[in-house]
Amino acid sequence: MPPQSPEPADNSGLDFAVMRRFLPYLWPKDAPGLRGRIVLAMLLVVASKGIQLSMGFVYGRAIDRMTPDLRAEVLLPIALVAAYAGARFIGVLFDNLRNVVFERVGQDATRRLAEHVFGHLHQLSLRFHLARRTGAVTKVIERGTKSIDVMLYFLLFNLAPTVIELAAVMAIFWAKFSLGLVVATLAMVILYVLFTQKVTDWRNALRAEMNDLDTATVARSVDSLLNYETVKYFNAEQRETDYYSKVARRYADAAVRSENSLAWLNIGQSFITNALMAGAMAFTVWGWSKGQFTTGDVVFVNTLLAQLFRPLDLLGMVYRTIRQGLTDMAAMFDLIDTDTEVKDAPGAPALHLAGAGLAFEDVSFAYEPDRPILKGVSFAIPPGKTLAVVGPSGAGKSTLARLLYRFYDVTGGRIAIDGQDIRSVTQASLRAAIGIVPQDTVLFNDSIGYNIGYGRDGASLADIETAARGAQIHGFIASQPQQYETQVGERGLKLSGGEKQRVAIARTLLKDPPILILDEATSALDSRTEAEIQTTLHQVSARRTTIVIAHRLSTIVDADEIIVLDGGRVAERGNHADLLKASGLYAEMWARQQAEDDEESAVAAE
C-alpha cells in the first residue's frame, strides 16, 4: 500500500542504482538512430571543448604580437584576434548543434519513462488506487519524468565536458608552466568540489523538506477541490482555506531557508575561484617579471582559468539538480516497483466462452486479514439467466462484482466462467466479457459522446446513438445545443445523477458483453425513468448472464434466482415467491420497503 504522501528518498547509497535504472532509457536497444544521435552529440562536445581550449592559445599569441617592435606586422595580430572570435563562434555553434542533435534523445527518454509509469499505474490493484492521494502521485510522476531530461543534459553536457577540460588544462599547465601551478589548480578544484558537495547536501535537506511540503500542499488542494460539494455541505470553506494556508505557510518558510542557503554557496564558491585566479595570475606575473613567461602567457592562463571556472560556477546547481533528479526518479521508481497484486498466470490463455455460465464456489474474501467480507459464498448462474443479490449494507454485495472483475483475487474458493477459474485466464479477456453499470458512475471530463463511446473502442456515432436510445438518454442529448459534444465536466458533475447513470447504461449497452453486472443500476433515477430503463435492462439481460445487485427489491422480482447475503454468507436463496413464503430476511425486507412505498404514496396523495 503506498504512503499517503511520498517520502523523501535517501539517495546516499542509491545514486548509482537509480542511474543504472534510467540509463536504458538513454541508450535504448531498439532505437539505433537515437544511439547515433548520442554519439554525434558527444563528438560535438569534444570538438567544442577542443576549439574553446585553442582560444587561449590564439588570444595569448595575439597579445604577444602586439608589441612596439612588431607594429608593422599588424595583419597577424588582426588575424589571430579574428581567429579567436571565430573560435568563440564555432564553440557556441557546436554547443547549439549538440543540443539540436540530443533534444530528440532526451524527449524520447522522458516519453518512454512516462509511458512506463502510466501503464504500470493502470496495472496496479484497486487496493493501491483506493489508498493513494491523486495529487501526490501526480506530483511524483511529474517531477520524475521531468528530471530525466535535465539529468541527461547536465551529466553529458556539463559534468563530462568539465572533466575533459580540467584534464586538458592540467596537461597544458604541466607542459607549459610548472608542476606547482598544476598542483595548486587541482587542489583548489578539489576544495571547490568538496565545499560545493557539503553545502549542496545541506541545501538538499532543505530542498527535500520544501518538496514534501509542496507535495502536501498540492495533494491537499486537489483533495479539497475534488470534494468541493462535501466542503459546501458542511460550510467548511474557511476551514479548508485555513488548513491550506497553514501548509502553504510552512512551504513558504522552507522555501525561504532553501533560497537563502544559495547565497552562502555562491559566496564560498566565489571566494575559492577568485583565490585561485589571484594566485595563478600572481604566479604568471612573477614569471613574466623574471622573463620566464610572456605577456600573452599571462592572458593565456587567465583565459584558461576563466573558461574552467565557467562550468565550475554551475557545479553547485548541477550537483543539486542531479541529486534532486535522483531523488525524484527514486520516488517514481518506487511507484514502478509497487507490486502488481493481481497478475496473469504465466502463459495464461484467453477466456473461452461457451454460454457464459458463472459460478462462485465456496468463495471467501477479506480486504484485510482481520476483517473477512465473504465467508464461503456459493451460487451458480446458468448461461443467459439472471441472479439477483440483495442484503443489508456491508453484506458484501458489491464485493462480488470486484472479485468477478479480478480487482482482487479471492482468498478462498474460486470463481469460474464456463468451468474456467478466472485466475487462470488473462485479465484482458475476462474483463472484455463483462459489462457493469455501477452505482456510483464517474465520467471522464469530456463529451457525452466520448463517455458513451468509451464502451467500445472505435464505435461509430450511429452505434453511440443506438446505445443512447436504449438507455433512454438520446432525447436529453438531442435537446442540448452541442448534442453529443456536450461536455459533462469533471467526474460528470454537469449531469444529474440519473443522467450519469443512463450514460453508464448506454456505455455498457455499447460494449455488448455476454456477462452483465447491474450494481444498483437505477438507484439514482426517478420512478418514471426507472420503469422505462427497467424495461430496457430486462431486454438486455434476457440474452446475457446477469448479476443484479439491488437495494430496491421491486426491481428484481422477475429474477430467475435471488440470494440474500447477510454477514458475508448466503442466508436465503430462491425466487421471489419462494422467498416471500419462507418469511425470512427477504420477506422482512420486502414488507419494510412496501410499507415505505405505501407511506410515500399516501403523502403524495395528500
pTM: 0.59
DSSP summary character for residue 159 = I
Measured between alpha carbons, how far is 26 from 35 in angstroms, rounded to an integer? 8
Q: What is the pLDDT of residue 551?
A: 78
φ, ψ (nearest 5 deg) of residue 6? -60, 135
C-alpha cell at 551: 437495494
339, 186 contact by CB (below 8 A): no
Which amino acid does the sequence have at 94? Answer: F
Q: What is the pLDDT of residue 408?
A: 82
514, 465 contact by CB (below 8 A): no
Q: What is the pLDDT of residue 123?
A: 63
Q: What is the pLDDT of residue 65?
A: 55
| Pairing label, strands 545-549, 515-519 | parallel
> Which residues does the chain have with pLDDT short of 70?
1-28, 30, 49-81, 83-84, 86-87, 91, 106, 116, 119-145, 149, 293, 296-297, 316, 320, 337-339, 521-533, 536, 597-606
| Segments making up each domain of the chain, as ranges | 15-337, 350-433+513-606, 443-511
- Residue 311: closest CA among 162, 443, 445: 162
Measured between alpha carbons, how far is 473 from 433 in angstroms, rounded to an integer? 25
- Residue 66: closest CA among 300, 301, 296: 296
φ, ψ (nearest 5 deg) of residue 385? -100, 165
Which amino acid does the sequence have at 394? Answer: G
Q: In CATH terms, are 350-433+513-606 and 443-511 the same topology? A: yes
254, 209 contact by CB (below 8 A): yes
C-alpha cell at 28: 535504448
Segment 157-212, tens digit of pLDDT:
777 777 777 787 778 778 777 777 788 888 888 888 888 878 877 877 777 777 77
Q: What is the pLDDT of residue 535?
A: 72
* Superfamily name with CATH number, domain 350-433+513-606: P-loop containing nucleotide triphosphate hydrolases (3.40.50.300)
In this structure, CATH architecture of domain 15-337: Up-down Bundle (1.20)
Measured between alpha carbons, how far is 561 from 545 in angstroms, rounded to an integer? 12
Q: What is the pLDDT of residue 9?
A: 41
Q: What is the pLDDT of residue 337?
A: 67
Among 1.20.1090.10, 3.10.20.30, 3.10.350.10, 3.40.50.300, what is the CATH number of 443-511? 3.40.50.300
252, 268 contact by CB (below 8 A): no
Q: Cα torsion at 261, 265, 270, 271 (round to 10°)?
A: 100
CA distances 596 to 521, 525, 528, 581, Å, are: 21, 17, 18, 21
107, 149 contact by CB (below 8 A): yes
- DSSP element (H, E) containing 377: strand 371-381
455, 467 contact by CB (below 8 A): yes
CA distances 414 to 115, 447, 467, 548, Å, are: 34, 39, 34, 20
Give the burial class of 473: count Cβ atoms within 10 A of its Cβ; 0-12 exposed, 13-18 middle, 19 or more buried: buried
φ, ψ (nearest 5 deg) of residue 234? -110, 20
